[in-house]
Chain A
Amino acid sequence: QVQLQESGPGLVKPSETLSLTCTVSGASVNSGSHYWSWIRQPPGKGLEWIGDIYYTGSTNYNPSLKSRITMSINTSKNQFSLNLSSVTAADTAVYYCARTVLYYDSRGYYSGAQYFQIWGQGTLVTVSS
């Protein structure tokens, strides 16, 4: 059974960097069959895709967050990570990691769309001084 588990500080100060790690069990992050994503949900609000990463280190980021995001992957630990810099209160959210499948068009090119197959339970990160 594939499981994902987020970990990291629950409280981050404004202007600092939010750092989270997702540990995968029951599957290998370097299988080549999936991408690995971060999604967030502010309290009482909807879902926002942050970005995804492939085992090669190739990434796709949400354009609205791109300047502040760094994602990395550690295949030896079967983990992937998110760094979000210069955080503000607007970054307060539950952060989810997810195993991801990308959609490709009929020519075999990435369409820009994906779906999130398996989710972690989520971790609440609060930005506050």
Chain B
Amino acid sequence: EVVLTQSPGTLSLSPGERATLSCRASQSVIGDFLAWYQQKPGQAPRLLIFGTSTRATGIPDRFSGTGSGTDFTLSISRLEPEDFAVYYCHHTTFGQGTKVEIK
């Protein structure tokens, strides 16, 4: 089983800043088949990125995914107020999540 470890646990930033979220896999991810989800309080998760770098329908281009092998990154170029949420990476299992909070 591939274990995904996300860091940091919490990221405190201001609107307009850049966010960089890390997801590290315990072994190489087959085919770079990695996805990212955003979850706001009381809501279901929403697919942001699949296949490491492909944005899902309707996702703004300030969200980008990169990486390969065991190291993957979700970047948010300029944080908007609606981007403060918890983010999960996922392959066959989910990472534990990174909370992006307002500083």
Contact = CB atoms under 8 A, between A and B. Distances in A.
A46 B30 contact: no
A61 interface: no
A48 B96 CA distance: 10
B56 interface: yes
Interface in A24-59: 46-49
B31 A46 contact: no
Contacts of B56: 117
A119 B39 CA distance: 11
Interface residues of A, number: 21
Nearest to B90: A115
B47 interface: yes
B35 A115 contact: yes
B45 A119 contact: yes
B47 A115 contact: yes
B88 to A, nearest CB: 6
A117 B57 CA distance: 9
A46 B50 contact: no
Across the A-B interface, give the 5 residue pairs with the lowest CB-CB distance, nearest first.
A115-B35, A119-B44, A103-B33, A113-B33, A47-B94
Interface of A: 46-49, 96, 101, 103, 105-106, 111-122
